[in-house]
A and B are shown apart, each in its own frame.
Chain A
Amino acid sequence: MLVTILDVLLAGLLLGGIYALIAMGLSLQYGVARVFNVAHGEFIMIGAMVTWTFYTIVGINPLLSAVISGPVIFVIGFFLYHTLFRYLRTKSITHAAFESNSMLAAFGLLFIIQNIALIIPRWGSEIRGYTYLASPVNIGGAIFAANRLVTLLVAVVIGLAFYLFLMRTRMGKAIRAAAQDAITARLMGININLVLALCFGLGALMAGLAGVLISMCYPIHATMGLEYTIIAIIVIVLGGLGNIPGSFLGGFILGLVGSVVTYFEPGLALVAYYLIFMLLLILRPAGIIGK
């Protein structure tokens, strides 16, 4: 019985690590840059498919490929904000108008990225996967693949590193200021365009890194993005919009809830996610640790 409980809890934490990483990225993009990026999952897909390509065709280690694909995805995100979303922001009269315009643009981005992925040779629409660090590891009787433990470790390290970046650096402080009030932050001398583009780029980077980790553990394909975007949306509502530590914690909570429900009735896992989503919106719209 104890082993079963450990099994379920660990499975939840392992899944939660990935959810946390995905949600932190979207939280940055929506909470700070104010772009409700429904194409967030497409950056996860790019990270996953690039890693698969590097590993199966070129033979590059998945974790090493993150070092190559991560900066590229960051630059793509950074320039997307600097061009498309910055333009929309300057042309939108109100914040609300910008949020709706940017969401529409993100929808377009979703279809464009997804369709490009579908026509890339070898990516196509088939399901892909590879085996890496698949050996079983025994933790107190609960058995898990080594790759999933690596995934959790990497997610936690990235989450903590980013938290320290936010709390201990000048740029981190600028990001927090921009998240609270972009106009006042700008009046205080913060280069707001740079900060917001940086947030969008960092959000894309986290999605890309999550994609790398997902490709190590789960089957992947060119149209996988949207399902992860939906999970990220649920998690950022759980953690509080724009609350980075909340998103990190929310990812783990959702992973645990999913794992427990799956143990009893797998078909109800998604129902549980949406139930949490609805209850939070009704009872605590600021999220579990929001003010």
Chain B
Amino acid sequence: MKKFTIPLVILLICSLLVIGCTTKTTTPATSTSGTASPTSVKTKDKILIGMSRSLSGPLAQIGDSAFRPIYETLIPEWNAGGGIYVAEYGKKLPIELKIYDDKSDTGTMVKNLEKLILDDKVDFIFPPVGTAMIFAAAPIANKYNKLLLTAEGGATQLKDALPGMPYVFINLSFSDWYEVPVLGQLLQSKGAKTAYVIYIEDLHGIEYSGVAGRELPKYGVEILKAKSVPPDIKDLSTILKDAQASGADAFLAFAYPDQVMLATKQAMELGYNPKAFLGGPGVNFGFYHTTFKDAVNGVLGWTVASPKQSPELKAMFDKLYAGKPEELQDYWGHPCYYAAMEVFKQAVEKAGTLDNTKIRDVIATSHFQTVLGDVYYTGQLLDKESHPGEVGQWQNGVYEVVGGKKPTAEFIYPKPAWPK
């Protein structure tokens, strides 16, 4: 037994250190320590928001660069102004965040959420990272009547389940919620007739390739081949050569940044130059451009907004990105998450209460003025008319909106050849 004692003690200490490091509570500067029940009217001095986030594990890669910069920007900003005004209490209440690390594990996320709701008695929950996590979190939000405005992730399958989950509101745009149909229109407008599709073999990839198979033919674009790729694929050269041999006008990679970056790098190396090259998610991130620089001129990806579309959007992008490395930029997710946070604040103020059910009704039935402009929800989805853009294209170092409601530049087709 003795031989196991020391390793077990070390393991225990390490576990405690990890838990200690990854359980983070952000206390507002203006809050005072509460001594009574958080539901007591007289002593309510803060809004407690709980989150189970993937601060470690594979999903940390997405979470750290997606929703995290948004809440880390907006919550301190709101608290600096005193917090959110809640009429029920007749004053502004600052926000305290309570964050647990779920280590990218769905089971841990579920336990964390229940602990936040039952033990920590948070007033609200903020979303976990990714589509699969949303699937698991939505029933919990429903069970405890907690509002869940989602951030990273969203899927057509979830859309079908939404009527049974009235507390869940999806904010990120996705496949048939304008993206792929807009891509179809763009390709049709330039005379593209064929496409070669690769897709990641998970919920995301299957959804996008399925929607592409259904939507693109409506715009005269035939899919010559659709190949699934595993998440840990190391070499795409044989697939890219097959795509090249197919002579397809467009190469569409419905995959994650790992595969999109690999496809881009190997397409450049092989000199594979389709007339349109789309990769997403991946192309919409600043790190895509910092890695390949202007060699990616003409590459397409998904987007929602550009700083060129309105002074409000410019102000938001400046606030989020000024003085920070370009690789942290995200033109697809960040505007959606930012708008969702604004919706949350305005809905609480409009409802004048912290009652999740009343706030949920306000969100379901109201219009909100956000950084995206006038936004509202249709069937609990941020309406597609709320997105100023759908398809983006790198043009001389700028990620322009080329497809959607408010394009900022003309769609370049065919894409310029990769530089030698």
User: Taking the nearest CB of chain B, how far is it from the CB of A125, in angstroms?
Assistant: 4
Of the stretches A24-32, A111-119, A236-244, A276-284, the one at the interface is A111-119
User: Taking the nearest CB of chain A, how far is it from the CB of B326, in angstroms?
Assistant: 11
Residue of B nearest to A136 (CB): B271
> Does any Cβ of B come within 8 Å of A285's Cβ?
no
User: Taking the nearest CB of chain B, how far is it from the CB of A2, in angstroms?
Assistant: 14
Interface of A is mostly: helix
Interface pair B268/A131, CB less than 8 Å apart: yes
User: For residue A125, which residues in chain B have a CB less than 8 angstroms away from its CB?
Assistant: 60-61, 64-65
Most chain B CB inside 10 Å of its own CB: which residue of A126, A135, A259: A126
Interface pair B238/A263, CB less than 8 Å apart: yes
> Does any Cβ of B come within 8 Å of A38's Cβ?
no
Residue of B nearest to A221 (CB): B61
Interface flags, B235-258, vs A, CB<8A=1, else 0: 101110110000000000000011
Interface flags, B313-348, vs A, CB<8A=1, else 0: 000000000000101100000000000000000000
Query: Interface size bucket, A side?
Result: 35 or more
Given A91-B6, A127-B258, A263-B238, the answer on whether A136 and B270 have CB atoms closer than 8 Å is yes
Interface pair A126/B234, CB less than 8 Å apart: no
Interface pair B228/A266, CB less than 8 Å apart: yes
Interface pair A267/B271, CB less than 8 Å apart: no
Residue of B nearest to A104 (CB): B7
Residue of A nearest to B269 (CB): A145
Interface pair B232/A227, CB less than 8 Å apart: yes
Residue of A nearest to B13 (CB): A108
Most chain A CB inside 10 Å of its own CB: which residue of B230, B269, B287: B269
User: Taking the nearest CB of chain B, how far is it from the CB of A117, in angstroms?
Assistant: 11
Interface pair B235/A15, CB less than 8 Å apart: yes
User: For residue A115, which residues in chain B have a CB less than 8 angstroms away from its CB?
Assistant: 18, 21, 56
Interface flags, B3-24, vs A, CB<8A=1, else 0: 1101100110010001001000
Interface pair A144/B237, CB less than 8 Å apart: yes
Interface pair A91/B64, CB less than 8 Å apart: no
Residue of A nearest to B54 (CB): A125
Interface pair B58/A223, CB less than 8 Å apart: yes
User: For residue A131, which residues in chain B have a CB less than 8 angstroms away from its CB?
Assistant: 265, 268, 291-292, 295
User: For residue A145, which residues in chain B have a CB less than 8 angstroms away from its CB?
Assistant: 266, 269-270
Given A93-B3, A105-B7, A136-B269, the answer on whether A129 and B232 have CB atoms closer than 8 Å is no
User: Taking the nearest CB of chain B, how far is it from the CB of A173, in angstroms?
Assistant: 32
> Does any Cβ of A come within 8 Å of B190's Cβ?
no
Q: Please, how many angstroms separate the alpha-carbon atoms of A217 and B269 in the complex?
A: 10
Residue of A nearest to B232 (CB): A227
User: Taking the nearest CB of chain B, how far is it from the CB of A30, in angstroms?
Assistant: 18
Interface pair A143/B271, CB less than 8 Å apart: yes
Determine which of A111, A118, A221, A266 lies in contact with B14 in the assembled complex, contact meaning CB atoms within 8 Å: A111
User: For residue B359, which residues in chain A have a CB less than 8 angstroms away from its CB?
Assistant: none
> Does any Cβ of A come within 8 Å of B261's Cβ?
yes
Interface pair A259/B235, CB less than 8 Å apart: yes
Interface pair B233/A219, CB less than 8 Å apart: no
Residue of A nearest to B245 (CB): A4
User: For residue A144, which residues in chain B have a CB less than 8 angstroms away from its CB?
Assistant: 237, 269-270
User: For residue B291, which residues in chain A have a CB less than 8 angstroms away from its CB?
Assistant: 127-131, 219
Q: Please, how many angstroms separate the alpha-carbon atoms of A8 and B57 in the complex?
A: 33
> Does any Cβ of A come within 8 Å of B211's Cβ?
no
Interface pair B6/A267, CB less than 8 Å apart: no
User: For residue B6, which residues in chain A have a CB less than 8 angstroms away from its CB?
Assistant: 91
> Does any Cβ of A come within 8 Å of B229's Cβ?
yes
User: For residue B242, which residues in chain A have a CB less than 8 angstroms away from its CB?
Assistant: 263
Interface pair A11/B238, CB less than 8 Å apart: yes
Given A15-B235, A266-B230, the answer on whether A108 and B11 have CB atoms closer than 8 Å is yes
Interface pair A267/B56, CB less than 8 Å apart: no
Q: Please, how many angstroms separate the alpha-carbon atoms of A131 and B238 in the complex?
A: 20
Given A111-B18, A118-B60, A270-B230, the answer on whether A127 and B261 have CB atoms closer than 8 Å is yes
User: Taking the nearest CB of chain A, how far is it from the CB of B356, in angstroms?
Assistant: 31
> Does any Cβ of B come within 8 Å of A218's Cβ?
yes
Given A118-B56, A219-B261, the answer on whether A266 and B227 have CB atoms closer than 8 Å is yes
User: Taking the nearest CB of chain B, how far is it from the CB of A54, in angstroms?
Assistant: 16
Most chain B CB inside 10 Å of its own CB: which residue of A125, A269, A270: A125
User: Taking the nearest CB of chain B, how far is it from the CB of A139, in angstroms?
Assistant: 12
> Does any Cβ of B come within 8 Å of A134's Cβ?
yes
Interface pair B241/A267, CB less than 8 Å apart: no
User: Taking the nearest CB of chain B, how far is it from the CB of A189, in angstroms?
Assistant: 28
> Does any Cβ of A come within 8 Å of B201's Cβ?
yes
> Does any Cβ of B come within 8 Å of A193's Cβ?
no
User: Taking the nearest CB of chain A, how far is it from the CB of B238, in angstroms?
Assistant: 5
> Does any Cβ of A come within 8 Å of B143's Cβ?
no
Determine which of A11, A108, A265, A267 lies in contact with B237 in the assembled complex, contact meaning CB atoms within 8 Å: A11
Interface flags, A243-284, vs B, CB<8A=1, else 0: 000000000000000110011011101100000000000000
Residue of B nearest to A19 (CB): B234
User: Taking the nearest CB of chain A, how far is it from the CB of B301, in angstroms?
Assistant: 14
User: For residue A101, which residues in chain B have a CB less than 8 angstroms away from its CB?
Assistant: 3-4, 7
> Does any Cβ of B come within 8 Å of A7's Cβ?
yes
User: Taking the nearest CB of chain A, how far is it from the CB of B128, in angstroms?
Assistant: 16
> Does any Cβ of B come within 8 Å of A71's Cβ?
no
A-B contact pairs, 9 of them (CB 8 A): A91-B6, A97-B4, A111-B56, A125-B64, A129-B291, A148-B269, A219-B261, A266-B229, A266-B230
- What 5 A-B pairs have minimum CB-CB distances, sorted nearest first? A145-B269, A219-B261, A125-B61, A267-B228, A129-B291
The chain A residues found within 8 Å of chain B, CB to CB, are 4, 7-8, 11, 14-15, 88, 91-93, 97, 101, 104-105, 108, 111-112, 114-115, 118, 122, 124-131, 134-136, 143-145, 147-148, 217-219, 221, 223, 227, 258-259, 262-263, 265-267, 269-270
